[in-house]
Structure 1
Amino acid sequence: MAKNTSSSAFRKIDVDQYNEDNYLEEDQGELQSPSVGPDEAEVTAMLNQGRNIEALKTVLKNAPLGSKQQAVKDAALNLTLKVLLSIKSSQIEEAVNALDRDFVDVLMKYVYRGFEFPSEGSSGHLLLWHEKAYAVGGVGSIVRVLTDSKRV
């Protein structure tokens, strides 16, 4: 026999919160203070001393992901490409293996952004970076880069 439920507590649930049309994108960049990008003098000094992998880590750590200023992002891109192109082909695998997963994702963002604005001889070198970063990050890294709303 059916049970009599005279309770109306179920009517207090807001079912509209589960509607897919009410999706609000979370802007996590606003929660963090926007980065001003890597310090060019510090990175250039590292490159001059031959500490290329440390320069790469510094550039990736200080990437202006939360910044909305295109000039800051362009300056960071130019500096990152300078670092990437200064590392020899034989050292690329060692450099990528020294990075953690988040840094590999940021590296992939810069590689794809570098493909957008190729310079003399940069495309072949960026393809090597992509190959080694893909070996470490896998398809997941590419998917995270292509679906992330924070651009470099």
Structure 2
Amino acid sequence: MAGAEGFVEADNAEAIIIRIEHKSRKIESLLKQGKPIEALKTALEGAPPKTQDERCKSANWIVVHRALMAIKDVDFMFSSLDPEYYDILMKYVHLII
């Protein structure tokens, strides 16, 4: 349940981690099939809601990073992303700069 500031409470962190682990397995499958753009889209879908739990943030970044590193053609990646995916990806990029 969301707290007063709109952040996910710690007791929901485990549920978020489980969803990220499931997403990670799906991404690995897509990468093995040679579908890195689909893997990236999957990684960006359902990004964890606002949470202060560092485990959730870190776990989802690892999933996004794994998909990004498999992409060889960055221009094609950007042209393939819908604006909503692009916006989410840019939020991740700004976090690491």
State TM-score, norm by structure 1. Answer: 0.48
In structure 2, the residue matched to 1:100 is: 82
Q: Secondary structure at the match of 1:47?
A: helix
Please give the root-mean-square deviation of Cα atoms over the aligned residues, in Å. Answer: 2.4
Residue 57 in structure 1 maps to residue 41 in structure 2: yes
Q: Which has the higher contact order (CA 8 A, sep 6+)?
A: 2
How far did 1:76 drift? 0.6
Runs of at least 4 residues of structure 1 off by over 6 A?
none
Q: Secondary structure at the match of 1:67?
A: coil
How many residue pairs match? The answer is 85
Alignment of 1:1-150 (within 5 A): 27=6, 36=16, 38=20, 39-88=23-72, 91-115=73-97
1:55–1:83 contact (8 Å) kept in structure 2: yes
Rg larger in structure = 1
State TM-score, norm by structure 2. Answer: 0.71
Structure 2 CA distance for partners of 1:103 and 1:49, relative to 1, 3 Å:
same
Higher helix share: 2
How far did 1:113 drift? 2.2
Identity value in percent: 31
Q: Deviations over 1:39-75 (max 9, x none)?
A: 1111111111111000010011121133332201101
Gaps in structure 2 of 5+ consecutive residues: none
